[in-house]
Amino acid sequence: MNESSKSRYFLAELLMNCLLFAVSAAVCVAVLAHANIAGKKSAALSMAVSEAQNVAESVKASKGEPQLLGTLLDTKESDGVYTLLYDENWQRLFDGSDAVYELRAVVNIDDNMLQSDISVADGEGAIYTLRVLRYLGAEKGESV
Amino acid sequence: MKKRRPVVSIGIVSLITVFSILILAVFTVLSLSGSRSDTALSETAARAVSDYYAAEAEEEQKLKELSAIAESDAEIPLEKRLEAAGFEIEKDNNYPGTVVIYNTSVDGRRMLVTKVGIGEQGVVERLYRQTISTGQ
């Protein structure tokens, strides 16, 4: 076998392997991108649950007093709706610029029952929703 | 004798490629399984929180019902009215009034136990609330 034939075989092998690697890399990159998106979504869900729970406890602690709830959430009320904005790292935004996530808490009192519908959403839609009820007619004992 | 070269040649380049693809595939599978387990964990945690608040809302509704019973017409004794509504009365000598205990199912594994006191004037007071494991 002469040198020219050897080089031809080597080149064919090299091309074949390059093609195989390119196909495998394309599949793997697509799967990794999918895993990355899924990871970001699960992180967003965890944070949304945590923030919604925090607001729910603040709503319960406020006992339906709008001013106290506004102080606890560090935001202003507008027709019984409290809006909290967050950036992509879940840091609170107070001016509304570059907000990625929005938490809305709709609070109302109906027949001595404090109700609050809390929803956390991003640009694509709702991530998590929570409904909180608190009966205001009962006094709070020491153990609760 | 002339040595024949195989049609499909396996050289060092092929070995390196196969090894690289194998490593790439392993890391991809690990990454995917990691993100899937993260998603499953987040969804389980979210469901647990939703279930808890749903049970708590149900418990608050029961408390409102209890309060309405306590404030209602006093011709029938309070204990009989409560028993008729399906509430369990607990004997508690430390509390100057009637103590009612009721359970609300959170999910298949947890239960919310609430202890409520009803004072002399029919004022309802939250005494105790605890989530217990039902062990299922």
The rounded distance, in Å, linking the Cα atoms of B70 and B75 is: 12
Determine which of B3, B18, B61, B64 to mutate to test the interface with A (most A C-beta atoms within 10 Å). Answer: B64
In a domain, residue A141? The reply is no
Residue A107 buriedness (CB in 10 A; 0-12 / 13-18 / 19+): buried
In a domain, residue A70? The reply is yes
The rounded distance, in Å, linking the Cα atoms of A29 and A24 is: 9
Say if residues B115 and B107 touch (Cβ distance below 8 Å).
Answer: no
Domain range for A105: 3-135
The rounded distance, in Å, linking the Cα atoms of B100 and B78 is: 11
Count of helices and strands (H, E) across chain A: 2, 7
**Cα A60 off chain centre by:** 23
**Residue A124, CB half-sphere, CA atoms under 13 Å: how many?**
4
- The helix (H) or strand (E) run that includes residue B81 is helix B78-84
**Nearest chain B CA: its distance from A121 CA (Å):** 15
Reading chain B (136 residues) residue by residue, the pLDDT tens digits are 556 655 555 788 889 999 999 999 999 999 999 999 999 999 999 999 999 999 999 999 999 988 888 887 767 788 888 888 888 888 877 888 888 999 999 988 999 999 998 887 778 888 888 999 987 5
Which residue is closest to B130 within chain A, CA to CA? A144
B36 to A38: CB separation less than 8 angstroms, yes or no: yes
pLDDT at B31: 96
- B5 reaches A (C-beta below 8 A): yes
Q: Name the domain count of chain A.
A: 1
pTM summary value: 0.84
